[in-house]
Amino acid sequence: MIRAVLIAITLLFSTYSTAQLTIEITQGRDNPTSIAVVPLGWQGSGLPKEDVAGIIEADLQRTGQFAPVARGDMLGSPQDQSEVFFNDWRLLNVQYLLIGKMVPTATGLVAQYQLFDVYAQQMILEGRQLGHPDSLRDIAHAISDSIYEKMTGIRGAFSTKILYVSAVKRGEALYTYRLLKADVDGAREQVLFESDDPILTPSWAPDGERIAYVSFETSRPAIFMQNLRTGERTQLTNFQGLNGAPSWSPDGKQLAMVLSKDGSPDIYVMDVETRNLKRVTRHFAIDTEPSWLPDGKSIIFTSDRGGRPQIYQVTLANGYEERLTFEGDYNARARVIPDGSGIIMVHRETRLDDFHIAKLDIDRGTIEALTETTLDESPSISPNGAILLYATKYREKGILAAVSLDGGVKFRLPSRFGDVREPAWSPFLN
């Protein structure tokens, strides 16, 4: 089984260098909201290291819900409400206007911003974002979060992070694997761990400070925990057979995982502090890919006990198990939507069809395909439940892609230099 896993990993990755994700929007709303993001004034010496307004503009555009006005079409560059002439912006059919300025302070800087409803001719949002000249991207993402929440009623997730895995081919069947962290727009990529052996299934703890993942560096798959602040790595498992698919509990105190140390692969739960293990499933079939429900009382998982991979749920208190999916011949890698209303999973209707990402409505029991790409896998949902990230193939290359949970917005995040896989979206970090 381990050999089969290694073969699968080799097939996932082709020749490439470092990752460096880029954004390509492929589908947006039919009637996106027009917004002008005026370049923020700068009252410091020299020039700022980042274009804050440009980052905000890109954040909003990436959602597919906003259509930023080109800077070359703007009739002015106001930095304060007294400088805003609403008639100028109505001529451009602008619905909303964002202005602001950045002012240095003794300890850093403050970004002051105002959002206006152009047709109502009134300010609807005013804020101040503190930061440092070296953290302008953080300031920009925080402002984007505020604007998005004001406009949609949904908390923004631009300040969150993503994990993913890349590999560099060094020779015949030889790769350098990297676990990477980046902003959700692919910027500020950081290598967290590098190995000559495969890295799989990264998972965020709810505190956003710890991650867990599978590494083959010990010649067998083992689960490691890593502190993102200190870089400290701790090996959690070293059992014979499979050690895989770590998934953090909602309180961050436990990890669900797959172990085959007692025979066939089953779901176990480990107390992270004591390392005590509890076996959750006992079946001769393959039980794998656990994911917690938001209340922490149940786990969903993939099992082929019915003949083909399907999604099951187990209640931890009494061990009661039930099958959740019946439509399609393949359903796997399930992830629960943050509000508990549904499940995102890899779905295939028949053997003749492609693998797609789909949404299961728990109450209705219906399944809706969200993607049209091929070989889709590894879905991960944004903490606000608005967007899901997944791995797929595009032009014979492994990339990350994203789609809104209603299917209306889609974009790609290909690497500039090669394949990337295994995305994991962080929780809210502030």
Longest Cα–Cα distance of the chain, Å, equals 73
- The residues, any chain, with a CB within 8 Å of residue 223's CB and separated by 6 or more, are 212, 213, 214, 235, 236, 237, 243, 244, 246, 255, 257
* 3-class secondary structure, 328: coil
Q: Which amino acid is at 226?
A: Q
**For residues 264-278, average pLDDT:** 97
Highest mean pLDDT among 12-16, 178-182, 360-364: 178-182
- The residues, any chain, with a CB within 8 Å of residue 230's CB and separated by 6 or more, are none
In a domain, 189, yes or no: yes
**For residues 290-314, average pLDDT:** 96
Return mean pLDDT, the chain.
91
In a domain, 344, yes or no: yes
Q: Are 167 and 16 in contact (CB under 8 A)?
A: yes
Cα gap 357→377, rounded to integer Å:
7
**For residues 239-263, average pLDDT:** 96
Phi, psi of 284 (to 5 degrees): -75, -15
Q: Which domain holds residue 146?
A: 31-152
Which of 120, 152, 184 is at the close of a domain?
152
16 and 38 co-located in one domain: no
Q: Which of 354, 411, 419 is nearest to 386 (CA)?
A: 411
Which of 107, 122, 152 is at the close of a domain?
152
pLDDT on residue 47: 86
285 and 380 co-located in one domain: yes
* 3-class secondary structure, 349: coil
Provide the pLDDT confidence category of residue 9 given band limits of 50, 70 and 90: very low
Q: Are 346 and 388 in contact (CB under 8 A)?
A: no
Provide the pLDDT confidence category of residue 219 given band limits of 50, 70 and 90: confident
19 and 102 co-located in one domain: no
**For residues 390-402, average pLDDT:** 87
Rounded to two decimals, the pTM is 0.90
Which of 131, 152, 173 is at the close of a domain?
152
Provide the pLDDT confidence category of residue 417 given band limits of 50, 70 and 90: low
Number of domains in the chain: 2
Beta bridge partners of 303: 287, 310
191 and 143 co-located in one domain: no
In a domain, 250, yes or no: yes
pLDDT on residue 307: 93
In a domain, 98, yes or no: yes
Q: Are 302 and 332 in contact (CB under 8 A)?
A: yes
Q: Is the pLDDT of residue 415 over 70?
A: yes
260 and 382 co-located in one domain: yes
**For residues 195-207, average pLDDT:** 96
85 and 221 co-located in one domain: no
Q: Is the pLDDT of residue 5 over 70?
A: no
pLDDT on residue 3: 41
In a domain, 247, yes or no: yes
In a domain, 74, yes or no: yes
User: For 22-55, how does the pLDDT look when each residue is reduced to its tens digit (9 = 90+)?
Assistant: 777 788 777 899 999 999 999 888 888 899 999 9
Retrieve residue 424's tokens: 């994991």
375 and 237 co-located in one domain: yes
| CA 254 vs CA 130, 251, 274, 297, 319: distances in Å | 35, 8, 10, 12, 17
Provide the pLDDT confidence category of residue 6 given band limits of 50, 70 and 90: very low
Rg (CA), the chain: 23
144 and 167 co-located in one domain: no
182 and 301 co-located in one domain: yes
Domain CATH for 110: 3.40.50.10070
DSSP per-residue letters across 24-90: EEEE--SSPEEEEEPPPEE-SSS--SS-HHHHHHHHHHHTTSEEEPPGGG-S----SGGG--HHHHH
pLDDT on residue 418: 61
pLDDT on residue 419: 82
Domain CATH for 276: 2.120.10.30
Q: Are 62 and 95 in contact (CB under 8 A)?
A: no
User: For 119-176, how does the pLDDT look when each residue is reduced to its tens digit (9 = 90+)?
Assistant: 999 999 999 999 998 999 999 999 999 999 999 999 999 999 999 999 777 778 788 8
Cα gap 104→100, rounded to integer Å:
14
In a domain, 430, yes or no: no
DSSP per-residue letters across 58-71: HHHHHTTSEEEPPG
399 and 355 co-located in one domain: yes
Least confident of 113-117, 233-237, 411-415: 411-415
In a domain, 265, yes or no: yes
125 and 77 co-located in one domain: yes
User: For 230-245, how does the pLDDT look when each residue is reduced to its tens digit (9 = 90+)?
Assistant: 999 999 999 999 999 9
Q: ∠ CA 211-58-110 to the nearest 5 degrees?
A: 80
339 and 267 co-located in one domain: yes
User: For 339-383, how does the pLDDT look when each residue is reduced to its tens digit (9 = 90+)?
Assistant: 888 999 999 999 888 899 999 998 888 899 999 888 899 999 999
